[in-house]
Amino acid sequence: MKNPIIYLSRSARRSQGAWLRRTWLTAGLLLLTALNGAQAVPPPAGTTIGNQASATYTDTSGVSHTVTSNVVQTTVQQVASLTLTQNGAQNATAGSVAYYPHTLTNTGNGSDTFNLTTGNSGGFTMTAVQIYADNGSGQPTGSPITSSGALAAGATFKFIVAATLPGTATAGQTNAITVTATSAFDATKTASNTDTTTVTNNAVVSVTKAVSAASGAPGSGPYTYTLTYTNTGNSTATSVALTDVIPTGMTYVASSGRWSVTGSTALSDTGGTTGTAPNTITSGYTAATNTLVATLAQVTPGQSGTVTFQVNVAAGTATGTLNNTATYSYNNGAGTTVPGSSNTVPFQVKQVASVTLSGQTLPGPAAPGSTVSFTNTVNNTGNGSDTFNVT
């Protein structure tokens, strides 16, 4: 995308016998946006908005006059708003623990705290239902929590709902946990998700994702993504396929794939197989779709492991968040292919400031007392919105 350009005009007046003096006509703050399409956002709570009318008229003598009204000021009041994603569904064995990741976003216009509660219903009752902060790994972090803590407007908070299935639960039974976030500023503002668990006696594979750093600048790297898989079921899972579509703005590091079973041996980028039967992995990378696929021949009950790969942040990537979610599927031992997805891991691309300023040569001699206009171009060559002081 081409960065926008703002033109500045300046004028010069030459008096007889004097050198040309250039005077800036345009100064102040210039907001240059390097992103396509500005999105409307609510003004922050406490913002004062002023409004003043003006009128220009010409009197009977042909003289132009401008008059202005008084200034009317309005203070923006806080409005609470939130979103909560996502509903979850998975299979689990009796006595195991089910984990459900969620993302809470403060879409209001002021700082707010959100209380977190859960409800339990269905053919059996979950025990030890707890909520934990998620540090980006898809696994519980620290002690149980009951609120998000203070969130600035536009900020997000990730958390995990963990619940234990009773040992008496039988195959085919289901349970639904409802998790609700409530604004502390305005208790009428709530959002809910439902996490549904179905009891099974077959293989149950879960996959979580993590990244080695939370942020980086364009052109930096490598960063390591880790996919951790676990079979908490009672049967061996086969054809466990892990698929990762690398976000636009990141590039795959060739031959960087590794599997915990084979240690430092590089995984194939071209569909080759690594390992010794029956513990093998077939892997490949498709550049056209920026997609990495790794298929494990089997994962036995209680077995866990990791698949890792590396990426770089592409030069010129715009500042913002790159989200990455892996998908997977497996045969559960009863002839059924079960799909799933990992937690979503954000990566923040840091802003890098850069600017160019070019002037204009005087096109020719100017008559004494005349006005000469110059065009000066300010080009935001950074990777995000920026403000420049012109002096």
d(CA 12, CA 20): 7
Q: What Å distances lie between residue 243 and 227, 255, 282, 287, CA to CA?
A: 10, 16, 12, 14
CA 375 to chain centre: 39
**Number of Cβ atoms within 10 Å of the Cβ of 150:** 13
Paired with 276 in beta bridges are 279
Residue 8 pLDDT = 44
Please report how many Cα atoms fall inside a 13 Å half-sphere around the Cα of residue 286, on the Cβ side. Answer: 8
Portions of the chain given CATH number 2.60.40.10: 78-200
Residue 17 pLDDT = 34
* 202-350 placed in CATH 2.60.40.740: yes
Q: Is the dihedral of CA 14, 15, 21, 22 positive or negative?
A: negative
Q: What is the secondary structure of 145-185 as a DSSP string?
A: -SEEEEE-TT-EEEEEEEEEPPTT--TT-EEEEEEEEEESS
Task: With CA atoms as reference, report the closest residue to 79 among 104, 106, 54.
Answer: 106
Q: What is the secondary structure of 196-218 as a DSSP string?
A: EEEE-SS--EEEEEEES-SEE-T
Portions of the chain given CATH number 2.60.40.740: 202-350
d(CA 332, CA 339): 10
Residue 265 pLDDT = 98
CATH number for the segment(s) 78-200: 2.60.40.10
Task: With CA atoms as reference, report the closest residue to 140 among 173, 99, 176.
Answer: 99
Q: pLDDT tens track of the chain, all 391 residues? A: 444 444 444 433 333 333 333 333 333 334 443 333 344 567 898 888 888 888 888 888 888 888 888 988 889 999 999 999 999 999 999 999 999 999 999 999 999 999 999 999 999 999 999 999 998 778 888 999 999 999 999 999 999 999 999 999 999 999 999 999 999 999 999 999 999 999 999 999 999 999 999 999 999 999 999 999 999 999 999 999 999 999 999 999 999 999 999 999 999 999 999 999 999 999 999 999 999 999 999 999 999 999 999 999 999 999 999 999 999 999 999 999 999 999 999 999 999 999 999 887 776 787 888 887 778 899 998 999 988 888 8
Helix/strand/coil (H/E/C) assignment for every residue in 236-305: CEEEEEEEEECCCCEEECCCCCEECCCCCCCCCCEEEEEEECCEEEEEEEECCCCEEEEEEEEECCCCEE
Q: Is the dihedral of CA 333, 336, 337, 341 positive or negative?
A: negative
Encoded tokens for 304 = 């866990």
For residues 363-373, one letter each, b for 16 or more C-beta atoms within 10 angstroms of the residue's C-beta and e for the rest, the string is eeeeeeeeebe
Residues in the chain, overall count: 391
